[in-house]
Amino acid sequence: MPTGRLAKWQILLTEFYIIYVTRTAMKAQALANHLAENPVDGDYKPLDTYFPDEEINSIEEVGSNGNQAWQLYFDGATNTKGTGIGAILISPTGQHYPATAQLRFFCTNNTTEYEACIMGLNMAIYLGVQELIVLGDSGLLIRQAQGEWKTRDLKILPYRQYVEDISKRFMCIEFRYIPRFHNYLADALATLASMLPYPRNTYITPLKIQVRDQHGYCNTVEAEPDGEPWYSDIKNFLKTGRCPEHANRSQKRTIRCLAIGFFLSGDVLYKRIPDLNLLRCVDAEEAEKIMNEVHAGVCGPHMNGYVLAKKILWAGYYWLTMERDCFHFVKKCHQCQIHGDLIHSPHSELHPIASPGPFVAWGMDVIGPIEPKAYNGHRFILVAIDYFTKWVEAITFKAVTKKAFMVLFIQTLFVDLVSQELSSQIMLQTSIVI
């Protein structure tokens, strides 16, 4: 028991005159003093602080013949919905060739990774790739392909042999392991394939990913080729009541719908807002000046894109792509990139507990349930720690009950009393020495 050890220490230490002092922190000056007192004899070579190719920002994968190598990412996904594999082949020019498939036969996690790798290798052979770098997050497949691990599973032996045979069709091929978070594209393809409906007669058209720069509820209004502002058609419609001659039926309907939210006063066009105020419409050149003045002008606090758009609205100006342009403008601000605040605060607030002396403040907590159980059936650990000395008392139980807490409380209380008595005797002997 810890109490027995404390009593034994107390008896053994009573015959010694012990003085306790605070241990000081080790400083770097001690190392400098040691080196100064013990100089190095013989040939001394100064430290070369120059790193070769220090000005290089990035490197590119280059093949044996000087050309950039192709890259193949692969991954497999197995879940309750099904099993899917995905591979993406990236050319030296950056063009991506994705491929995905759903496996409707039994596969383990390792065989699924081999199926994805084989699909990617076949796709590379079909495109005539000669030099390839295979990147995957399966440590088993990569290590076996590199020859570091042996293949003993009878289910994986045919896959391993086929990968070895098909790799000979490349002039140069290299297998590399990458973490899972670097293999997100292949993982997304494999997960998508595993979620497809199972019926065989289901047909899914090719997937096309659109790139949108604005919200779906926004109407697209492009600048005229002759340099007219974006609101020229709306302004002409409010002035003359006619749409442009070259506009089709859909474009005319869009102009009529947009014109409802605008007001023309002389030659100045205003935008109506729900609070019955009017915002002056500006073109691209004026919008650039307004963003520069509000964001980085005399009183510009260099706010973010959302606040910048709000301030421009409060100032009484408007254009259709205001929020998107404000975000792009803030990202290109040089001063914001240099002087931006670096947030080092923790994710949650810290609440330190200060203890004035040893065994004054105790903390108790429960750890568990722990699986598997211990040989005696215990699943929970009751822990008590002193905040000052970091003294830990722990005891295990089958179940957490009131009786268990009382046992630990009495044990820690006894340790507290013995420790206080021990510390008082040490302080008394220390005063006698002094």
**Residue 384 Rama label (left phi>0; alpha psi -120 to 50; beta):** beta
Average pLDDT on 271-285 reads 85
pLDDT digits 0-9 by tens, 47-58: 555 555 555 555
Element (H, E) at 419: helix 402-433
Reference 317, options 294, 351, 345, 350; nearest CA is 294
Q: How far apart are the C-alpha atoms of 386 and 392, rounded to whole Å?
A: 7
Poorest-confidence range of 45-49, 170-174, 374-378?
A: 45-49
Predicted confidence (pLDDT) at residue 353 exceeds the cutoff of 70: no
Among 249, 245, 279, CA closest to 262? 279
Average pLDDT for the chain: 77
Q: Which of 51-65, 103-117, 191-205, 232-246 has the highest mean pLDDT?
A: 103-117
Query: What pLDDT, on the 0 to 100 scale, is given for residue 46?
Result: 59
* Segment 341-368 mean pLDDT: 69
Q: What's the gap between Cα 64 and its chain centre?
A: 34
Neighbours of 405 (CB within 10 A): 15
pLDDT of residue 73: 93
Q: Can you tell me the mean pLDDT for 171-178?
A: 90
Q: 3-class DSSP state for residue 401?
A: coil
- Single out the residue of 140, 138, 158, 159 nearest to residue 150, CA to CA: 140
pLDDT band at 428 (very low <50, low <70, confident <90, very high): very low
Residue that is written with structure tokens 């019955």 in the block: 276
CB contact at 8 A, 112 and 78: yes
User: Tens of pLDDT along 92-134?
Assistant: 888 888 888 888 888 888 889 999 999 999 999 998 888 899 9
Helix segments in 25-172, DSSP class H:
28-37, 109-126, 139-146, 157-167
DSSP readout, 29-48?
Answer: HHHHHHHHHSPPPS------
Q: Which pLDDT band, with edges at 50, 70 and 90, does 434 fall under?
A: very low
Residue range 263-274: mean pLDDT, rounded: 86
pLDDT of 342 strictly over 70: no
Q: Is the predicted pLDDT of residue 142 greater than 50, yes or no?
A: yes
Alpha helices in 260-304 (DSSP H): 284-296
DSSP string, 232-270: HHHHHHHHHS---TT--HHHHHHHHHHHTTEEEETTEEE
Instruction: Say if residue 429's pLDDT is above 50.
Output: no
231-269 core/surface letters (b: 16 or more CB in 10 A; e: else): bbbbbbbbeeeebeeeeeeeeeebbeebbeebebeeeeb
Residue 320 vs residues 24, 56, 256, 326: alpha-carbon distances, Å: 65, 42, 16, 12
